[in-house]
């Protein structure tokens, strides 16, 4: 309960920051601020990821000033979790996050940034064992990350980023057979994961 309240508070704070950014399109220096919108490929690696996979996603970012901005991002990737007995679970995860992003220029065309925030995660599972069904609840997690961006034109940049999410979820596993009927096991599951992103942003 306490975790949910804290998560909701962080999301509300970051969404409020984004609204304020939209209301103030010009910084105190009088220089225009830059929005970003783009796409990325994601490579799942780190944490509880067993089989790294390629995923996809997109992001949009609104500045508050020349250092701080708010980003909304969606990433989707899949993973196969294999057991020693040949059983496996195909897992699709979609992560919808909001982040505070702190940017710093490192050169004429190169910049670096750090970010942190919260994300809403949905997990779909599919077992290759016909009498086993597993369901995991949607949960809010927390992430931190860092990245580099390289300007390639006046309105386009490439970026590379690594983001790590701390996630705990609840779920249930149902096993059934023709003799004993169905048995249900409930439990808490930890699924931390890292995403290495490579993508492009369009500036406007």
User: CATH number of the domain that 66 lies in?
Assistant: 2.40.160.20
CB atoms within 10 A of CB 167: 21
Per-residue pLDDT of the chain (204 residues; tens, 9 = 90+): 444 554 555 555 555 555 554 445 444 445 678 999 999 999 999 998 988 889 999 999 999 998 999 999 999 999 877 765 666 778 899 999 999 999 999 999 999 999 999 999 999 888 766 666 778 889 999 999 999 999 999 999 999 999 999 999 887 766 666 555 555 566 788 899 999 999 999 999
Instruction: State the DSSP code for 28.
Output: T
Range of the domain at 53: 2-203
DSSP secondary structure string for all residues of 113-146: EEEEEEEEEEEEEEESSTTEEEEE--EEEEEEEE
Report pTM.
Answer: 0.78
- Element (DSSP H or E) covering residue 16: helix 2-23
Q: How many domains does the chain have?
A: 1
């Amino acid at each position: 309960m306490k975790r949910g309240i804290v998560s909701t508070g962080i999301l509300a704070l970051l969404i409020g920051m984004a609204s304020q950014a939209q209301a103030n399109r010009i910084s105190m220096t009088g220089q225009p601020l830059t929005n970003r919108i783009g796409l990325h490929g994601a490579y799942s690696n780190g944490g509880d990821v067993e089989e790294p996979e390629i995923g996809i996603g997109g992001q949009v970012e609104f500045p508050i000033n020349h250092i701080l901005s708010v980003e909304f991002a969606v990433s989707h990737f899949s993973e196969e979790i294999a057991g020693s007995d040949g059983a496996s679970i195909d897992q699709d995860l979609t992560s919808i996050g909001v982040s505070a992003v702190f940017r710093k220029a490192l050169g004429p065309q190169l910049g670096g940034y750090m970010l942190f925030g919260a994300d809403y995660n949905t997990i779909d599972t599919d077992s290759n064992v016909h009498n086993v069904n597993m369901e995991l609840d949607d949960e809010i997690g927390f992430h931190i990350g860092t990245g580099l961006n390289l300007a390639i034109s006046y309105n386009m940049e490439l970026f590379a980023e690594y983001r790590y999410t701390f996630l705990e979820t609840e779920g249930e596993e149902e096993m059934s057979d023709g003799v004993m009927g169905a048995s249900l096991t409930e439990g808490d599951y930890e699924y931390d994961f890292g995403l290495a992103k490579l993508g492009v942003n369009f500036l406007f």
